[in-house]
């Protein structure tokens, strides 16, 4: 599985229904499973982003489909960052001259 960090910001629509945010998060976890994505962790944050998640996906296409489906609901804007475990980073570093 490939690991990503998801950074999300509420849209105006998402803020109007903020009281449902935890329910939407639970629904997102279920929808993710159906897309071959594991929404491993989701936390609400203060600062530039309103939510931060750790996501594992079978491949980039699965993550892209899940991200787009989430964005289509209109509650958050979604940005993903590819993340590497220590062992993956060691493999990358081993390729350096």
pLDDT of residue 35: 87
Mean pLDDT, rounded, for 63-69: 91
pLDDT of residue 37: 96
pLDDT of residue 32: 93
Backbone angles phi, psi at 59, to 5 degrees: -160, 175
B/e letters for 33-50, b = 16+ CB within 10 Å, e = fewer, are eebbbbbeebeeeeeebb
- How far apart, in whole angstroms, are the C-alpha atoms of residue 20 and residue 12? 14
Span 4-53, pLDDT tens digits: 999 999 999 999 999 999 999 999 999 999 889 999 999 999 999 999 99
Both tokens of 47, joined, read: 């600062």
pLDDT of residue 1: 87
């Amino acid at each position: 599985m490939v690991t990503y960090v998801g950074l999300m910001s509420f849209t105006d629509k998402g803020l109007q229904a903020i009281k449902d945010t935890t329910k939407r998060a639970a629904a997102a976890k279920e929808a993710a499973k159906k897309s071959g994505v594991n929404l491993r962790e989701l936390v609400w944050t203060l600062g530039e982003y309103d939510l931060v998640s750790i996501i594992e996906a079978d491949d980039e296409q699965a993550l892209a489909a899940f991200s787009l489906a989430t964005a289509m609901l209109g509650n958050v804007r979604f940005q993903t960052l590819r993340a590497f475990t220590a062992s993956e980073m060691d493999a990358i570093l081993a390729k350096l001259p």
